[in-house]
Amino acid sequence: MLGRVRFVLMVKVARNIAIVLALAAVVVYAPGGGTGSVVVIQAVSIAFLAVIAWFASVMYRQHRVTLYSLGDTRRTWLYVAVGVAILTLSATSRLFASGAGVLVWFVLIGAAAYTVIAIVWAARSY
């Protein structure tokens, strides 16, 4: 029984590897395959960002009362910190192009993380 299960699993893995190799061959040898692969990667990236936005909206709706209980000042700082983190992450490739940019990236991410942690800590201390 165990040998059969192992064999079925190996067949599935071999099938998946064959599918990946076939797709790679299509990208390499088909005319316009490289452009097609770029389109597919962009579509997957957009879908991934849409899922992240959906998750963020669900979390916001579930924790709306908690966010409003922070008060205007802390909530503003929280939103600014999240915005700085998002902008910094979106500019990672540009910032990592230079040594000073790497330092700026770490400072911005560190400041945003510290701000979020400080706000959460202060909110839980009551």
What pLDDT is recorded for position 124?
87
Domain assignment present for 110: yes
Domain assignment present for 94: yes
Domain assignment present for 6: no
Q: How many CA atoms lie within 13 A of 47 on its CB side?
A: 6
Domain assignment present for 50: no
Burial of 100 (C-beta count, 10 Å sphere; 0-12/13-18/19+): exposed
Q: Which residues of the chain have pLDDT under 70?
A: 1, 126
Q: Which residues span the domain enclosing 87?
A: 65-126
Domain assignment present for 45: no
Q: What is the pTM of this model?
A: 0.65
Domain assignment present for 124: yes
Interval 14-33: pLDDT, tens: 999 999 999 888 878 878 77
Number of domains in the chain: 1
Structure tokens that stand for 57 in this block: 């909206």
Domain assignment present for 51: no
Domain assignment present for 111: yes
What pLDDT is recorded for position 65?
93
